[in-house]
Amino acid sequence: MKGVILAAGKGERLRPLTDDRPKVILKVANRPIIDYVLENLDPFVDEFIVVVRYEKEKLIKALGDEFNGKPITYVEQLPGKGTAKAIESAKGSVGDEEFIAVNGDIYFEIDGVKELVSTFRKEKADAALLVKEFDDLSQFGKIEVEGNRVKAVLEKPGRVSGYANLGVYIFRPEVFEFIEKTPLSERGEYEITDTLNLMIEEGKTVVYAPYSGYWNDIGRPWNLLELNEYLLKTKLRHSIRGIVEEGATIVPPVEIGEGTVVRSGAYIIGPVKIGKNSRIGPNCFIRPYTSIGDNCHVGNAVEIKNSIIMDNSNAPHLNYVGDSIIGENSNLGAGTITANLRHDRGNVRVEIKGKLEDSGRHKLGAIIGHGVKIGINVSIYPGRKIGSGSFIGPGAIVDRNVPPKSLLIV
């Protein structure tokens, strides 16, 4: 069976982290999101087919041509938007047997795939989808079921409870006939959920497998922090491959990669993951649920908590980084601080595609893109985004979002 992974989307809600790259290669707990998908599909498939379009060269470079010894084939998405279009793009590559199709930007675990494959085979179904029960389905499509069959997929049913569609499917090649008949949706996309409804209307057997494990749909920046916290809490093993100087304190579990040096006076409370060839300390405080990538520098008098710092980025002197995400190749000037809490203690709101959204989080700091250079003593308000390639001059107060490649001087 082949595994088709949908990774052609623009990931606009994840700007600025997707300003110059597809979201599936963003690293969480120091691994690209798509790696977790590949790992969980691996036992069930003999080849991966990745559907690409937006910034595809970067994706292909990051992933290479095999995973665990199994080939990865890339196919370009056909013209048009949407998950049905993305799946249709794999038509020439899946052969004549059933295949798994998965959104490349979700995190789920192997039990879900096991359950889905066994339900599909037991029921000799035409299609199967993975579902999970939620109290509030306003962000999801609702799966209406009767017995072991899916009756309908309803878009945005509002604040009702029930099964949500998780974006993991098994199809037979006949799905392509139904995709061809799938109309454009109201939001201008060809959606695989509409294809499923067509299949059901025509009497095809569409079944579902309930999943009770952890699942996260990485749509918005704070989903990266949630996933990072989950992975560090549940998967991290204490392992020190780098050098820890005398006088540094490490409270397990902490993973420190080869070539990384932790200098005296550093105080690290796990779970914390640090990549290779990074320089940590002296005299810094790294608190739980922090991932720091390769070739990073966290210097003197710096405190970091609950944050993601991607490869080649630095918080070198007198910085506070809380509940924040810093992309690759970015640098904080001395004394630059991220605020992560509103004075009124309300949830932090973030502008997503031009609209303010409640993150549902009490604490959320800055979302800083790639290649951002920030001067000394910059203060960044909670939930503010700094676009990739921007330069923020010394002493600036970042109280609104900064577009990519801008110059902000006070």
Sites of contact with ligand TTP (CB under 6 A): 6-14, 51, 77, 81-83, 85-86, 103-105, 189, 219
Q: Which residues are marked as active site?
A: 317
Q: How far is the CB of 209 from ligand TTP (least distance, A)?
A: 20
The closest alpha carbon to 330, from 338, 72, 8, 85, belongs to: 338
Provide, rounded to whole angstroms, the least separation between the CB of residue 16 and ligand TTP.
12
Query: Which CB, 137 or 378, lies closer to ligand TTP?
Result: 137
- Residue closer to ligand TTP (CB basis): 28 or 302: 28
CB closer to ligand TTP out of 219 and 288: 219
Cβ of residue 165: shortest distance to ligand TTP, in angstroms? 11
Q: Do residues 372 and 390 touch, judged by C-beta distance below 8 A?
A: yes
**DSSP code of residue 12:** G
Sheet holding 279-280, edge to edge: 243-244, 261-262, 279-280, 297-300, 314-317
Q: Decide whether 191 or 294 has the Cβ nearer to ligand TTP.
A: 191
Closest Cα partner for 127 from 86, 84, 82, 157?
A: 84
Shortest gap between Cβ of 34 and ligand TTP (angstroms)?
9
Dist CA 364 CA 361 (whole Å): 6
For the bound state, the minimum distance from the C-beta of residue 23 to ligand TTP, rounded and expressed in Å, comes to 6
Nearer of residues 7 and 398 to ligand TTP, judged by Cβ: 7
Task: Please report how close the Cβ of residue 354 comes to ligand TTP at its closest, in angstroms.
Answer: 12
- Of the pair 83, 197, the CB lying nearest ligand TTP is at 83
C-alpha to C-alpha distance for 301 and 290, rounded to whole angstroms: 16
Helix (H) or strand (E) holding 83: helix 83-88
**129 and 165 in contact (C-beta within 8 Å)?**
yes
Give, to the nearest 10 degrees, the angle between helix 110-122 and helix 33-41.
40
Type of residue at 231: L
- Report whether 21 contacts 58 (CB < 8 A): yes
The residues pairing with 71 across neighbouring beta strands, listed in sequence order, are 66
- Among 253, 216, 256, 215, smallest CA distance to 236 is for 253
Region label for 38, one of left (φ > 0), alpha (ψ between -120 and 50) or beta (otherwise) = alpha
Q: How far apart are CA 325 and CA 336, in angstroms?
A: 14
Nearer to ligand TTP, 185 or 205 (CB): 185
What is the number of the residue whose Cβ is closest to ligand TTP? 9
- Residue 160 near residue 142 (C-beta atoms within 8 A): yes
CA distance 102 to 88: 13
Closest CA to 274 of 317, 234, 319, 304: 304
Closest separation in Å from C-beta 102 to ligand TTP: 8
